[in-house]
Amino acid sequence: MKNLFTFALSKKGGVCNMIIVPIKEGENIERALKKFKRKFEKTGIVRELRDRKTFEKPSVRKRDEKKKAIYVQKLQIRDE
């Protein structure tokens, strides 16, 4: 019989999402935690919380995106 390791996550709007990690009989709890951490990281909640911590003006965000695009383009040209 399979046990389930579940964890509730709340996002904006009060919607609650669940991360469900199926655990096989006799499976190590450390492996289940590793699976959970991987799934949790894919949700991007921690990244979103860090972004929301400080407000960034849209003009500053666009400027940073342009700088990053220029940098990546220079790297691609240099590698060719």
pLDDT digits (tens, 9 = 90+) for 43-77: 888 888 888 899 999 999 999 999 999 999 999 99
Of 44, 14, 24, the residue nearest 5 (C-alpha) = 24
Range of the domain at 23: 1-43
Q: Would residue 35 count as lying in a domain?
A: yes
H helices then E strands: how many in the chain? 3, 2
Residue matched to tokens 């700088």: 67
* Alpha carbon distance 69, 80 (integer Å): 17
Own/partner pairs for 19-25, CB < 8 Å, 24+ apart?
A: 19/43, 25/1
Of 38, 34, 2, 36, the residue nearest 19 (C-alpha) = 36
Domain match, 72 and 37 both: no
Determine if the pTM surpasses 0.85.
Answer: no
Q: Would residue 48 count as lying in a domain?
A: no
